[in-house]
Amino acid sequence: MKQIRIFDYLEQYQALESDLHAAMRRALESGRIILGPELESFEQEFGAFLTGEPTAGATPVHCVGVANGTDAISVILRALGVGHGDEVVTVSNTAVPTVSAIRETGAIPVFCDVDARTCLMDLDRVAECLSERTKAVIPVHLFGNVVDVPRLRSIIGGRDIPIIEDCAQCHGASLNGTMAGTMGTAAAFSFYPTKNLGAYGDGGMCVTSDPQLAAVIRSVRMYGFDGLYYAEREGVNSRLDEIQAAILRVKLPHLHNHVENRRRIAAIYDALLPAAAKPIAPSAGANHAYHLYVVRVENRDDVRTGLADKGVGTGVHYPYPIHLMRGYDFLGYKPGDLPVTERLAGEILSLPIYPELPPADAERVCVALREVIGE
């Protein structure tokens, strides 16, 4: 029986193999392995992807490549002056790196519960999470869905609280025609291999429309240097290397089509899933990028085992809310503090989705799910 994997990069690699090898060779033969022309070009090209062709009056974005998506968040926070004792509002149903990045600065994560339909930050609960110590809010565009950042900004009101979009899972998503990653004060992208735009190793990007903030981010990623060997501020060592930048330059022109393929697969699931498997809903106005296709099911672990027996791979993103992990006991949260987040953790199930997944395999997933659930 053919196994249907939840993710497989090999077919995409084989389709792009000659271009990828040529790009890696170009980078290796350039004599510049760090902070060279490949990264500079990719930063410009990724900015153009986010904003489209330049037009009169359009606000450009500045992109700064860093070592990974976790660093992208922490470097932005450092550049904004977030530090020990400050509070940063985010969600608990995210990958640990979101919170790890906050803690790297010494700041304290404050968790907002999420909306049960979208799995995104519940904007009706944000105001109660804000305090005089709040120095940033990090909405997570989970699964490829998009938080309503303009509404979040209106909730924050006139308070000088930056919004940092966590875009690790939403390359190619938009809200009412505006690309995710261009709506907040800054945005953090990951290029981990499983992402919609994935490297063959780690990589990340900081994005902002504020040129002064971009300059500080560039300094922070390189030891705080503003000149050679002279630190104007405390910084870190976090740079997207030339080989990964060259790889990403090859893959970026295909990103739009890859995301459209994900949407086509999602449409098959939408049409054929059994009623007992409830898809996570796109937020209003969102053009979902479907990094993951997630459903809610009862007896999730039994369903997952049944699908595995039928050759269907699945995932759970994420089975343990961060606020209940032992590593974060010191934050003082307890079971019941975030009831929607906690309930979702036991119900969510990620189905196979990647651009090269054959439609017939998506249909087979739905048949298997119906058989396992009993519809």
- Listed by start position, the domains of the chain span 10-252, 254-373
| pLDDT number for residue 296 | 98
At residue 215, the 3 state secondary structure works out as helix
User: Can you give the pLDDT at residue 53?
Assistant: 57
DSSP states of 74-111: HHHHHHTT--TT-EEEEESSS-HHHHHHHHHTT-EEEE
Fold (CATH) for 10-252: Aspartate Aminotransferase; domain 2 (3.40.640)
* Residue with more model confidence, 158 or 310: 310
**Is 9 a residue whose pLDDT tops 90?**
yes
Judged by average pLDDT, the poorest of 29-33, 89-93, 261-265, 363-367 is 29-33
What does the pLDDT average to over 179-208? Answer: 98
Name, in order, each residue with C-beta under 8 angstroms of 224's C-beta and a sequence gap of 6 or more: 231, 232, 233, 234, 235
Does residue 57 have a pLDDT over 60? no
Instruction: Measure the CA–CA gap between 375 and 348, rounded to whole angstroms.
Output: 19
Indicate the average pLDDT of the chain: 96
- Cα–Cα dist 294/341, whole Å: 15
Calpha distance 33→28 (Å, rounded): 7
Whole-number pLDDT of residue 2: 84
The pLDDT of residue 263 is 98
Mean pLDDT score, 127-131: 97
Pick the CATH number of 254-373 from 3.40.50.720, 3.90.1150.10, 1.10.1740.10, 3.30.470.10: 3.90.1150.10
Query: Which residue in the block uniquely carries the two structure tokens 């339909």?
Result: 117
pLDDT tops 90 at residue 313: yes
Decide if 196 contacts 64 (C-beta within 8 A): no
pLDDT reported for residue 148: 98
- Between CA 296 and CA 280 the distance in angstroms is 7
Q: How far apart are CA 256 and CA 253, in angstroms?
A: 7
Same fold, 10-252 and 254-373: no
3-state secondary structure of 154: helix
Q: Alpha carbon of 263 to those of 40, 55, 76, 172, 282: distances in Å?
A: 31, 28, 31, 11, 12
pLDDT in tens, 246-296: 999 999 999 999 999 999 999 999 999 999 999 999 999 999 999 999 999
Say what the pLDDT of residue 56 is: 46
Residue 246, φ and ψ in degrees, nearest 5: -65, -40
Distance CA 315, CA 302 (A): 13
Closest-CA residue to 62 (of 43, 40, 38, 39): 43
Residue 46 confidence (pLDDT) above 80: yes
Give CA–CA dist 87/132, Å, rounded: 9
Rg, Å, the chain Cα set: 21
The model carries a pTM of: 0.97
Task: Give the mean model confidence (pLDDT) for residues 101-127.
Answer: 98
